[in-house]
Amino acid sequence: MAARFSPPDGRPDGDGRDALAVDLLGVLEEVGAHTGGIYRLEPGGQVLELAVIEGLPREFVRPWERISLTAPIPVAVALREGRLVWVEGEEEMVRCYPGLALALPYQFRMAALPLATDTAPCGGMFVLWPCSHPSRLSSGERDRLAAAATDLARGLEKIPRTGPPLRAGLEPYVPGPPGGGRAEALETMVARLPEGICAMDDHGRLTFISPRGAALIGESPRRLVGARPWRVLPWLNDPVYEDRYRAAMVSRQPTSFVALRPPDLWLSFDLYPLGSGITVRITPAPVEPGDVPAPAPSVDPAIPTRVGAIYHVLHLASALTQAAGVQDVVDLVADQMMPAFGGQALALLTAEDGRLGVVGHRGYPPEITAQYDRLPLRSPTPSTRTMVTGVPSFFESPEEMDQIYPMAVAPDDGMAAWAFLPLIASDRPVGTCVLAFSQPHHFTVEERAVLTSLGGLIAQALERARLYDAKLELAHGLQESLLPHALPRLPGLTAAARYLPGTEGMEIGGDFYDVIRLTDDTVAAVVGDVQGHNVTAAALMGQLRTAVRAYATTGAGPAEVLARTNHLLADLDPGLFATCVYVQLDLRRRVAHLARAGHPQPLLRHPDGDVRVLDIPGGLLLGVDPGAEYPCTEVLLEAGSILALYTDGLIETPGTDLDDALADLGAELARTGEQNLEDLADALIRHARPTGHRSDDIALLLLCPTADPVPDPESDPAPAPAPEESGPPAARPRAPRGRDGGPPPPSVQ
């Protein structure tokens, strides 16, 4: 039986949705599936709205009636990527879509496809099979689904894109004709069975119950037929029992449960799903009252806890586990809550110095959020009242808002309905979540309960995120003070540097670089990598950089600089090791002296484009052996050659051979080396990070001797050394850029 959709005003469905449901049912029959749904892409192109569902009642899919196009859900992924998405079972669902798996913990196989016309994408569809289906789609099934997607897209386009939101209209139950003929014979046959038998449709309503079944349950068949058992029988009003019914419907696999009919009769319910319903066998259960605990009775029978509401809460809870910073929380809450409840705007408010503060919002223009921001907590507005008292407020229309707040002190945000949810963490209010609707909205009892529960989840995630952001800001401030703000400008040399923290953890690490003016014609350059990606590694990195600079400016050669730094690190005994490559360049003679401590080999690009690895001998990692020695190697450099020093984050990728990665980086340097040094650094960084995920930091330093004349200290008086940041701003080397090539974050300026 299909769940037909009609406008909320009850007008007959004449806009093509019935025909679309019939077409979908035909597709399900052809491919042997039991459930399917069609989503329509809303005009804004960011939200998918469920238009037709076959095989399951609406309450099963209520949390996903409206979903963000960015949601990690197969039908959204299929539309975003323009491909068929196949989920072969529960394990793959847990691995690829953990939030959905938590909310639908059942065994089934799923296919999701995009729906598109010749002009543009218009929606998506999903199809479910029981796990008895093979673990792979056959070529015939794929072809049929692809053809069906084209046909259904045309039908979906015929549904108007304007008007009220689509709603599911549940078909009323109509009992069959009274007994007679074959029906009477079947009822007589079933009545002879010692166990009770009943039948349920795909909306969970009883369509038949045998006399024995009614006697075991203890109710009149007339009261049971046409009703959902958990709605009329208080002792079955428990999410655990409804969950078993859902499991049977979604997985199409038999299941069972045991329940206590007061005062002391235990009954076993065996559910056998087939077609558009379920057959249930009811028998006395051979258990003692003390063996199975009875479910707790509902405190208020009029406000039952529905399992769908529980799954809605679980779904958001799973999504919030992915949030790190405050903006992550804002984005996840907006992506989950606004489509699910049909809201058009959302704001998260917190208290700071006795005033409200907007930590994030979606759907509000800046002039509206300004009305919330910096509002005194003593102001008698719904947002401040909710934060101070910790009591949620729901306003279904502007008239209702005006009745309670007649002084018009509530911000005028142009909306027509609001839910003000307290954000309570550790038993104290920490903020308010405002969910607003552009049209009057009726908040059901269940919806109010779910929204209030979600407020608690949001509060916990927001508190964690604010703590994370505070620690991250502190760490970035530390790293900003440890890395050079600019490179020195020297005649005869151009240089460019980039630093990118890893994207895991607190996005800080122990990679460092530096360029040190020694004399007018001599410069030192260093690139190092301290073990670890945390504040300890960053602090030790600062100590090593300072030590290298101090030893270099005393006139020590490369071998002695590394030996002294190694001895210092061994004395500090931080429990961490470091790698390092140190170069001293004579700019007038264009000669480089290099020493290496366990660090990746430098690359040298000659002016003709040839690139080779400088296979220079090296010593142990810094901090391993206080007496380690570090040999020094001399290399001649031509004008226009490029010496590339880097940390292993530039070449190490899980699953990639290190030699292959180094050869690949050399090929990229050969191909792009004709660019100016700043653009070349950007190109090498882009090549090393095709995705935004990095498990390690990256430091890159490019040095290019030029043909510009270098002062000869023996013939010309040495000019006064210029400050490292001297010169016109346009001539200064660019500071290391951020991870996306834009302005650098504080830690990499």
- DSSP letter for each residue of 647-680: -GGGT--TTS-HHHHHHHHHHHHHHHTTS-HHHH
Contacts of 546 (CB under 8 A, 6+ apart): none
- Please name the helix (run of DSSP H) or strand (run of DSSP E) that holds residue 585, with its range, or none: strand 578-586
User: Tokens standing for 708?
Assistant: 């510009």
Residues 116-147: tens digit of each pLDDT? 988 788 899 999 998 888 989 998 999 999 99
Which of 537, 499, 475, 503 minimizes the C-alpha distance to 695? Answer: 503
Q: What pLDDT is stored for residue 358 in this prediction?
A: 86
Query: What is 188-289's CATH superfamily?
Result: PAS domain (3.30.450.20)
Contacts of 116 (CB under 8 A, 6+ apart): 82, 122, 149, 153
User: Tokens standing for 329?
Assistant: 């929380």
User: Tokens standing for 111?
Assistant: 């296919």
CA distance 700 to 681: 8
CA distance 322 to 170: 36
Place of tokens 């010496």: 643
Burial class (CB in 10 A: 0-12, 13-18, 19+), 232: middle
User: Tokens standing for 421?
Assistant: 């949810």
Residues 421-475: tens digit of each pLDDT? 888 887 778 888 999 998 898 887 777 877 887 888 888 888 887 777 777 777 6
Long-range CB pairs of 173-178 (<8 Å, 24+ gap) are 173/201, 173/205, 173/207, 173/226, 175/207, 175/225, 175/226, 176/207
User: Tokens standing for 295?
Assistant: 């479910």
Residue 324 carries which side chain, given as an amino acid letter?
A
CA distance 386 to 375: 13
b/e map 387-413, b = 16+ CB within 10 Å: beebebbbbbbbeebeeebeeeebbeb
Rounded (10°) CA dihedral 231, 234, 238, 244: -60
CA R_g for the chain? 34
Which of 684, 680, 594 minimizes the C-alpha distance to 640? Answer: 680
CA distance 157 to 43: 12
Is the CB of residue 530 less than 8 Å from the CB of residue 548? no
Helix 677-688 × helix 658-672 angle, to 10°:
150
User: Tokens standing for 692?
Assistant: 């935004």
Angle at 393 between CA 390 and CA 396, to 5 degrees: 170
- Please name the helix (run of DSSP H) or strand (run of DSSP E) that holds residue 340, with its range, or none: helix 326-341
Taking 70 as the pLDDT cut, the residues of the chain under it are 1-16, 102-103, 160-185, 275, 287-319, 321-322, 406-411, 475-476, 478-480, 502-509, 533, 654-655, 689-695, 711-749
Right CATH for 2-169 from 3.30.450.40, 3.40.109.10, 3.90.1580.10, 2.60.120.10: 3.30.450.40
Burial class (CB in 10 A: 0-12, 13-18, 19+), 447: middle
Which of 622, 504, 497 minimizes the C-alpha distance to 563? Answer: 622
User: Tokens standing for 94?
Assistant: 């847990």
3-state secondary structure of 183: helix
Residue 448 carries which side chain, given as an amino acid letter?
R
E strand spans, 479-521: 493-500, 511-519
- Please name the helix (run of DSSP H) or strand (run of DSSP E) that holds residue 546, with its range, or none: helix 535-553
Is the CB of residue 260 less than 8 Å from the CB of residue 289? yes
Alpha carbon distances (Å) from 441 to 342, 383, 444: 9, 18, 9
Angle at 629 between CA 626 and CA 631, to 5 degrees: 155
CA distance 552 to 545: 11
Cα 18 from chain centre: 36
3-state secondary structure of 260: strand
Is the CB of residue 605 less than 8 Å from the CB of residue 572? no
CA distance 701 to 707: 20
Which of 590, 584, 555 minimizes the C-alpha distance to 710? Answer: 590
Is the CB of residue 637 less than 8 Å from the CB of residue 610? no
- Please name the helix (run of DSSP H) or strand (run of DSSP E) that holds residue 102, with its range, or none: helix 98-103
Q: What pLDDT is stored for residue 707 in this prediction?
A: 79
Residue 627 carries which side chain, given as an amino acid letter?
G
User: Tokens standing for 662?
Assistant: 């180094």
CATH of the domain spanning 325-474: 3.30.450.40
Is the CB of residue 642 less than 8 Å from the CB of residue 703? yes
Task: Tell me whether the CATH fold assigned to 325-474 matches the one assigned to 490-712.
Answer: no
Q: What pLDDT is stored for residue 179 in this prediction?
A: 46
Q: What pLDDT is stored for residue 173 in this prediction?
A: 46
E strand spans, 63-161: 66-68, 85-87, 109-116, 121-129
Which of 63, 122, 39, 68 minimizes the C-alpha distance to 363? Answer: 68
Residue 662 sits at φ, ψ, to 5 deg, of -65, -40
Q: What pLDDT is stored for residue 218 in this prediction?
A: 87
At the topology level, CATH places domain 490-712 in Phosphatase 2c; domain 1 (3.60.40)
Residue 394 sits at φ, ψ, to 5 deg, of -130, 130
Is the CB of residue 747 less than 8 Å from the CB of residue 507? yes
Q: What pLDDT is stored for residue 595 in this prediction?
A: 95
Which of 417, 433, 410 minimizes the C-alpha distance to 360? Answer: 433
Is the CB of residue 272 less than 8 Å from the CB of residue 281? yes
Domain boundaries, the chain: 2-169, 188-289, 325-474, 490-712
Per the DSSP assignment, residues forming a β-bridge with 591 are 586, 636
CA distance 316 to 435: 15
Residue 233 sits at φ, ψ, to 5 deg, of -115, 105
Assign residue 557 a region: left if phi > 0, alpha if psi is -120 to 50, beta otherwise?
A: beta
Alpha carbon distances (Å) from 371 to 200, 367, 374, 404, 413: 53, 7, 8, 19, 8
CA distance 125 to 345: 27
Q: What pLDDT is stored for residue 429 in this prediction?
A: 80
Is the CB of residue 153 less than 8 Å from the CB of residue 115? yes
CA contacts within 13 A on the Cβ side of 394: 14
E strand spans, 59-145: 66-68, 85-87, 109-116, 121-129
